Structure 1
Amino acid sequence: MDLLEYQAKELFRQIGIPVLPSQRIDHPTDLKRLEIPYPVVLKSQVPTGGRGRAGGIRFVENTIDAIAAARSIFNLPILGCYPQVLLAESRYDAEQELYLAVILDYALGRPVLLGSRQGGIDVVGVMAHMQKVVVEQEFSSFYARRLALKMGLQGQLIESVSGIIQKMYQLFLQKDLDLVEINPLAINSRSEVMALDGKISANDSALGRHAELATLASSMPESYPNRVSDLNWTDTEGNIGILCNDTCLAAATLDLVYQEQGKPASCLILDGYASWDVQATSSPVQQLQSALKQITEAKGIKVILVNILSSGSASEQVAQVIANYLVSKWGEGSVLKAADQAERPMGLTSRSHRVHHNGTHTLSKQSVSLTQLPHFVIRIVGGKIDSAKERLATIPVHWMDNLDEAVAQAISLANSKVRPS
């Protein structure tokens, strides 16, 4: 469960992480009773990234402009989500912005501290300076200071930033969280730090142990849960699409792709179903179908890397949903045979594929269906997926058990000059 920004900042405030004066706005007319001085920034409260580029963040100087901006933001969908709440917050003059995060790395089975001396919406810049510290033993201030030093911080900033990291980790442990992120952590001319934006992902399985988080979950608008969201750490010039079923798993996958010099174009997360209990609800199937459609239709994507970690029964159904989707694109009985795939890897139905007496292949212009689908590299952990593999045996889908190998395969295909057609 991903908290909204204003909810995350309330937890920041309780743990001692500095945040700006702010006020929840449920209706544009609430701005007539605004208790913080202008100028202010109005922020759409939706559980997705990309709010700034979509127009969901506006700076305003007075009440009239604020009400007009709020009306516009309330009616602005961001990745299909309309905000039910806005956050009005004081402006802050930042001279420097950092990125900080504490995540649970499923591959390592350990918490990991992340930090970049460049924060904000420039994802390429953030990732280019990203530093990592694995918490291998009981946490101490040593880990926080080590990350601050690796980020290249000096003087007073080492103490102030490492102090923020320690509080983030304390919150991470206290609430059984999967992710605590501050982007950006702003620094002003007096070297004071301020969390300008925050994200918290709570572990669904731990909600029973934290009544306050369960209360927040119950207060989330009905239009938010079980959504497909976009992890906003990607490259606008990338050509690899990533699909995961957990925020931390997605972060780890993105990190590996960037380390191997790959360029992710989009990273979709099937939020709220880290465990994918498909017997309890049919929503994950609909989510996956929606995500597959969204990511395959995105411009510029040559390869889709699917990385799903779930229970055995859920993995089997995930594999079948993917198989059904791909078969529907090619036609169950009309996919190209292996001998033809070398020339024509994807996208042609057999109805438009003709073999002449001399062995050459031609296409009927009247019946050709070019889908321009990307290559698929699929890693599904758990369950028996042999039947899905058999159904897709004649389609160039790459099944991988090892994540490093899957990432290497995806990058190799993305760098290839041959594109499916």
Structure 2
Amino acid sequence: MKLHEHQAKGVFADTGIPTPSSQLASSVEEAVDAADAIGYPVAIKAQVHVGGRGKAGGIKLAENEDEARSAASDILGMDLKGLHVEDVLVEEAVDFTDEIYVGVTMDRGAGKPVVMVSARGGVDIEEVAAEDPDAIVREHVDPAFGLHPYQARRVAFEAGLGAVATDVARVLSTLYELWEDNDATEVEINPLMVTADEDVVAADAVMNVDDDALFRHPEIAEMESEAADDDLEQKANEYDFDYVRLDGNVGIIGNGAGLVMTTLDIVDYYGGAPANFLDIGGGAKAERVTNALDMVFSDENVESVVFNIFGGITRGDEVAAGINEALEQLDEIPKPVTVRLAGTNAEEGQEILNTDLVSVEETLEAAVQHAVENAQEADR
């Protein structure tokens, strides 16, 4: 689960990390009222889960009411890297002299948490890592003991932060506690701004939490529906799906992460482009299959759909019944659907499938090629 900036900042502020005064707004008038209340200058920031918002026009500074109105009008409702902006964060602008990056994540290669600090904040940390890896100071943490204060101080001083190193070390220690206590996969501040008075302020906030641990954090789980950027994310939350949106136009549904990943690779092999990753899981009943089709049909990028089901726990006849049930409810099939069934009760499933509504293929390769051809034909 990805928290929006304003949600993450609320969590950070509750632990004592300095954050600017801010208000969330969903209309131009609300944004102007918030800016007037906070005091100019303000930053008006799109609340969507994408990086590089500033470069894409999703963050603007306003020195007065007219500029605030104009900025809010420009940002609210805009399409920002494929996401519709419905809310903005109106925030006190920080007069800064420097920008720092601090973050905590899991280093899967080392099998340990890692804390990171860089004096080159304010830009994509991935770019820094690619261009100058030594500009990011890292420290692995033994999860049995947590981040020791001396470790936090060491990375801050090795990053060359000078007079603010101690304050940055405190922020880093707090971030690690947040990461550990909330089963987070990633927490970061980029940038952590340094003011002329050598104070540090979190001008941005990122916090991603393991979905499987949300039951332990009801206060964060309550933010889930609000954290969704669009209808697809809300549907994924409602249906309890792992749905990853991609850039292509071939919708993919499978039962099992490995099977779905294989399907993605084969779509690419045959010249297509996957539109999504959607795993309906083992033992999927008709209702779950119906929900999966509803999700994929709701993705405006999808031009055709391939269903790849291998029956182990999942029964092919149950899946076939779900496909029929979903499609028979529609006056018109929005996108062509190709189905490949194998494994438990696959033959029964193939007999059940309504071939007036779907195309049925014996092999995965044939099913993928058919789906790719359908998508290519729709693009012509």
2:48 touches 2:229 (CA, 8 Å); kept in 1? Answer: no
In 2, the alpha carbon distance for the partners of 1:282 and 1:189 equals: 45
How far residue 38 of structure 1 moved from its aligned partner, in angstroms, is 0.9
The corresponding residue for 1:17 is 17
Distance (Å, rounded) in 1 between the aligned partners of 2:60 and 2:110 = 40
Q: TM-score, normalised by structure 2?
A: 0.63
Amino acid at match of 1:138: F
1:316 aligns with 2:259: yes
1:134 partnered with 2:77: no
In the TM superposition, 1:104-183 aligns within 5 A as: 104-121=106-123, 123=125, 124-125=127-128, 128=132, 129-136=135-142, 137-139=144-146, 140-154=148-162, 156-183=163-190
Q: 3-state DSSP class of the match of 1:146? A: helix
Deviation (angstroms), 1:312? 9.7
After superposition, give the CA deviation of every residue in 1:325-366 in whole Å (9 maximum; x if it has no partner). 321459xxxxxxxxxxxxxxxxxxxxxxxxxxxxxxxxxxxx
Question: Displacement of 1:158 after TM fit?
Answer: 2.2
Higher helix share: 2
Per-residue CA deviations over 1:4-40 (Å, capped at 9, x if unaligned) read 1111100110011000011111111113432200111
> For structure 1, which runs of at least 5 residues remain unmatched after alignment?
228-271, 274-278, 295-310, 331-389, 392-421
Return the alpha-carbon distance in structure 2 between the equivalents of residues 223 and 190 of structure 1: 40
How far apart, CA to CA, are the structure 2 residues paired with 1:225 and 1:142? 44
1:190 and 2:197 aligned? yes
Alignment-mate amino acid for residue 18 of structure 1? P
State the match for 1:419 in structure 2.
none
Q: Greater CA deviation, 311-320 or 2-11? A: 311-320
Structure 2 unmatched runs, 5+: 274-363, 366-380
| CA distance in structure 2 between the aligned counterparts of 1:52 and 1:174, rounded to whole angstroms | 31
* Paired residues, number: 264
**What TM-score do the two structures reach when normalised by structure 1?**
0.58
Q: 1:181 to 1:190 in 2, by over 3 A?
A: same
Shift of 1:318: 0.9
Match of 2:54 among 34, 52, 55: 52
Give the aligned residue type for 1:291.
D
List per-residue Cα deviations over 1:32-77 (Å, max 9, x = no partner).
4322001111000001111101101111122222122112101211
Find the residue that maps to 1:95 and give its secondary structure.
strand
* Matched residue SS, 2:54: helix
Distance 1:71 1:103, change over 3 A: same
Letter in 2 for 1:168: L
- Residues 219 and 77 (structure 1 numbering): CA distance in 2 closer, same or farther, change over 3 Å? same
What value does the CA root-mean-square deviation take over the aligned residues? 2.9
Partner in structure 1 of residue 219 of structure 2: 212
Compared CA separation, residues 126 and 104, structure 1 to 2 (3 A):
closer
Supply the AA of the counterpart residue of 1:199. V
1:135 partner letter: V
Question: CA shift at 1:92, angstroms?
Answer: 1.0
SS of residue in 1 equivalent to 2:23: strand
Match of 1:326 in 2: 269
CA distance in 2 between partners of 1:142 and 1:312 (Å): 47
Alignment partner, residue 92 of structure 2 = 90
Q: Distance in 2 between matches of 1:29 and 1:280?
A: 36
Name the CA shift for 1:107/1:15 in 2 (closer, same or farther; >3 Å). same
User: Identical aligned pairs, as a percentage?
Assistant: 29
Structure 2 CA distance for partners of 1:65 and 1:3, relative to 1, 3 Å: same
Runs in 1 of length 4+ with deviation above 3 angstroms?
122-127, 224-227, 279-284, 290-294
Contact 2:26-2:76 at 8 Å conserved across structures:
no
Alignment partner, residue 200 of structure 1: 207
